Copies of this chain bind each other. A is one copy, B any other.
Amino acid sequence: MRGVTRSVISDTPPIGRAERRARTRAAILTAARTVFGDCGYQGTTIRAIASRAGVDPALVMQHFGSKEALFVSAAEIELGIDDALPGPIDDLGERLLGTLLERLESAPEATVSMLRSMLTHDQAAEAVRAAMIDKGASPLADIIIGDDAEVKSGLVASMIIGLIITRYLLKIPAVAEVPAERLTHLFGPCLQKLITPAGPGTAPGNHETRPESDRQQGSRINERGAR
């Protein structure tokens, strides 16, 4: 028999075509995120994704056009740095880690997928670079006081990347098996050392970080950064 329309997606009988289409697309995307996350871009095959989604490989192409396009749709990197910025600057280090880990502990797949692919796939590298600069280093550079704000914010981003890789990809036991709270408590001061070098409470005015609307958009680093 050919053209069996019933795919894995359909379990509840009364679905419209559009609904069915949407569910299939979502199933492919979910499968893609998992497989890309496990195998990286080059190690992932359309067939593997299709198989996991319970669908024909050709259907994947029909939905997304190409492996490349599917990857772009599936991958996203969201570290939640924006959410952590508002608040006292003296706690920013720990707050960054807290937000980041909270987000990753539950669903690291999309981020891990991107990180796993970034080293061997240009487009993924570009996405990570953009995410690091636009969503990470750049807003931070606006907050950090004093010289070398750009470099320091870049270093904070590098520490975050290193942590994610060590904990979620390489799974070095000493880092992977520690509760998130403990990690936040231990590592936060190191980030803080870059944000307020002289120590908490010594930043000029011990000020709170300005709300997003106050800060200028498109910061210094951004302008030099990814195309």
Could you write out 26 A-B pairs with CB less than 8 Å apart?
A40-B40, A40-B42, A40-B119, A119-B165, A119-B169, A125-B169, A125-B170, A128-B170, A137-B172, A148-B186, A153-B174, A154-B166, A154-B173, A154-B174, A155-B163, A155-B190, A157-B172, A158-B165, A158-B166, A158-B175, A159-B190, A174-B225, A186-B194, A190-B190, A190-B191, A190-B194
Q: Does A17 contact B (CB under 8 A)?
A: no
- A150-183 toward B: CB 8 Å interface, digit per residue (1/0)? 1111110111111101110111111100100011
Q: Does A120 lie within 8 Å of B153, measured CB to CB?
A: no
Number of copies: 2
Q: Does A174 lie within 8 Å of B42, measured CB to CB?
A: no
Least CB separation from A154: chain B residue? B174
Least CB separation from A121: chain B residue? B43
The interface size of chain A toward B, counting residues with CB under 8 Å, comes to 55
Chain B residues positioned under 8 Å from A189 (CB to CB)? 193, 197
CA distance A62 to B127 in the complex (A): 40
Q: Does A132 contact B (CB under 8 A)?
A: yes
Q: Does A96 contact B (CB under 8 A)?
A: no
- The one of B163, B173, B174, B193 in contact with A162, judged by C-beta atoms closer than 8 angstroms, is B163
